[in-house]
Amino acid sequence: MRFLITGGAGFMGSNFVRFILRNYSDVDVIVYDKLTYAGRKENLHDVWNDRRFSFIKADICDEKTLTQVVKEYEPSVVVNFAAESVTADTIVYVHENGVISVKTIAEFFDELKARYGVLSDGFYEVVEVPSYANIRVLGYYAGMGHWIKVKKITRHPYKGTVVRIRQRWGEVTLTPNHSIYDASLKLTTPTEVAEVLAVRKLNYLPRPINELSINIHNSTLEGEYIRVKRSKCSLKRSFNVKRERDEIKALLKLIAAYIAEGWISYNGLEYSVCITNSDIGWLKDIAKGLELISDSSYDFTLRKDCVWQLHIPSKTLYEFLKHYCGVRARNKRMPNFIYRLPYKLQEFFIEQLVKGDGYIYNYRNVEMFKYTTTSRILAAQLGLLLLIMGKNLTYYIRNKETSCEYDIKITNKYWPLHAKRIEKETLSYEGYVYDIELEHVHNFACGLGFIVVHNTHVDRSINEPSPFLRTNVLGTFVILEVVRKYEVPLFIHLSTDEVYGDLPENASASEDYPLRPSSPYSASKASADLLIQGYRRTYGVPVIIVRPCNNYGPYQYPEKLIPKTIIRALHNRPIPIYGKGDQVRDWLFVEDFCEALDLIVRKGRKGEIYNIPGFNEKRNIDVVKAILKLMNKPLSLIKHVADRPGHDRRYSMVGDKIVALGWKPKTKWIEGLRKTINWYLNNAWWWKPLLTDKYFMSETPWETTIKG
């Protein structure tokens, strides 16, 4: 007998392949699978070299390839089972207890790791942020940016290609398979996106501070001033925002001038702050303001290049600017306290920056400001400041031999995106890649310009029904057509008990029970069942529909209840339970299912539907408790979370037809659980690469895209 098993690299399919090859010597098995999230070569590692086994990587919706396979192998039975990240230097925008900051995602991960610890298997690392922590990052919701609480951040090593996207909205670098939103709010990939979605409006009204205080390492307080040790000069430490506007403006002038045209140095004898510009009047204005906030001396020098230099010999100012603004042009940054200043002072700071390293011009009767910097972090900081201020902005990034220049244009109008400004580049990358999960939404804004990228942490068929509809309906249609045209002797289609929908406590569904699916997945399976029955009646296609209950056992993907519970319990992580955990499911050990399916292949009646129940109905909460007991783990690991929408309370089936063929389950419930637990404990190599899958890591993976 020759089996063609579509979707055979998944959980149930791979176990059936293993069962057939183990129990029969006169069989050939061809697995046809496109290898998606749950269909993996690793599921078939122990049969890969069996001479009776063949593997074809292809999509069942590809009628041409499927036809070629059927013609070449001439199967006697067709069984249908078919059912990343950003780089370390990616910028994220953080809001914590009123303080706004801009940093790389690697820096953010390290900070959270130091505070809350990390779950690690030596390859994958996950930091779970406690619910009491008020740590937020910029996310996208209802057409604008919001500060949204962080649930967890993950990373793992990656070696391969990444895609860098640059256009007027900004820049972001992602792995090729990381989903990104286009400008019309559709999910796509970095290689396919035409215009990225970026946050350009922020639902945030900052509370300006009344008192601005600065601090410097190794400084002493002298009244309202601070002085660094062994420094002759001091700097005003505290500013009343309402009463001391002139003093704050003087400080902002100094900061803006240093960021735009300044540097600091120490020659072994003297600490110096230097600012250069061709406009001596601008430098004198800075020096005059300095007298309001410091007792530092200063002098002017005309350099050989006809540029004036303001020189301030002060260790205190040297340390202040080094601490708040960085050293060297590529590392310059602005102080975070500017985000909390009143709007007029923020506007004043931007004007001073533009005077130092930018210009104002008129384009199509619109006044525009342009500022240029080689500091990526400063470009991101200024973008966020402009976003908070409600200003429109665009980026233009120019590659130089040793660095990049970031042009930030500030205006009140947008123009259509010019095709030449859309740049995509595939780069080699080796290092960590990261992902962030937020509350209630499945995205976060990152990169230069707040690019909205996808964080998939919802039940797959609820979040992304399209792949399920394509595989279960279109894929089934393609198989039916090939089976019909080439007269394959038998087609067995794997459906699910979910097609019957929610059942009351005293009812169980027989094979002729009305179909009442309640999720995109079960609806797609029911659609396939009806399509098959139509082909059976119209064309006489030799088909059998099989509806199994919940299977469990080796090689089940970690997002499912039992393996998820085992793995999280192993790491002493919370076990999420939807609602009260009173949902009832019928459980069957996968080896027993394989025996039932084998019996149907050999003795089943064509045109029939066979339920395969486990006669073992359990509440989800009781399943989890049984696993924790077997693993000697405390029940305190159980964490009740919000229930998913449309969650059916009970599935139950009658199994008279399959029992009449001579089948009944052999594996007792606790015995099957013990076998499953032991398999996962002894095969960490298989599930460790899947540990940071967002469906596994999320406590509420059903949250819909509508929320985001």
For the annotated catalytic residues, the residue numbers are 497-498, 521
d(CA 566, CA 668): 18
Of 601, 606, 602, 588, give the one whose Cα is nearest residue 664.
Answer: 588
Q: Which of 108-128 are b and which e, b meaning 16 or more Cβ less than 10 Å from the residue's Cβ?
A: bbebbbeeeebbebeebbbbb
d(CA 611, CA 597): 10
Of 295, 216, 290, 225, give the one whose Cα is nearest residue 253.
Answer: 290
160: helix, strand or coil: strand
Q: How far is Cα of residue 569 from the mean position of the Cα atoms in its chain?
A: 23
Of 522, 526, 524, give the one whose Cα is nearest residue 545.
Answer: 526
d(CA 326, CA 478): 62
CA distances from 507 to 321, 582, 655 (A): 74, 17, 13
On the 0-12 / 13-18 / 19+ scale of CB atoms within 10 A, 64 is exposed
184 phi and psi angles, rounded to 5 deg: -95, 15
Of 375, 452, 425, 454, give the one whose Cα is nearest residue 169.
Answer: 452
Of 448, 391, 497, 561, give the one whose Cα is nearest residue 196.
Answer: 448
75 membership: H or E segment, kind and range: none
Alpha-helical segments (H) within 410-492: 460-463, 465-469, 475-485
207: helix, strand or coil: coil
Residue 547, token pair as written in the block: 């509806």
CA distances from 51 to 23, 25, 44, 47, 571 (A): 15, 11, 13, 9, 39
100 and 339 Cβ atoms separated by less than 8 Å:
yes
What's the full length of the chain, in residues?
708
420: left (phi over 0), alpha (psi -120 to 50) or beta: alpha
d(CA 655, CA 641): 33
577 and 639 Cβ atoms separated by less than 8 Å:
yes
Three-point CA angle 200, 203, 207, nearest 5° = 120
104 membership: H or E segment, kind and range: strand 99-104
Residue in this structure with the two tokens 């993950």, named with its chain if needed: 154
d(CA 619, CA 153): 31
235 membership: H or E segment, kind and range: strand 235-236
CA distances from 706 to 185, 196, 276, 440 (A): 11, 19, 53, 10
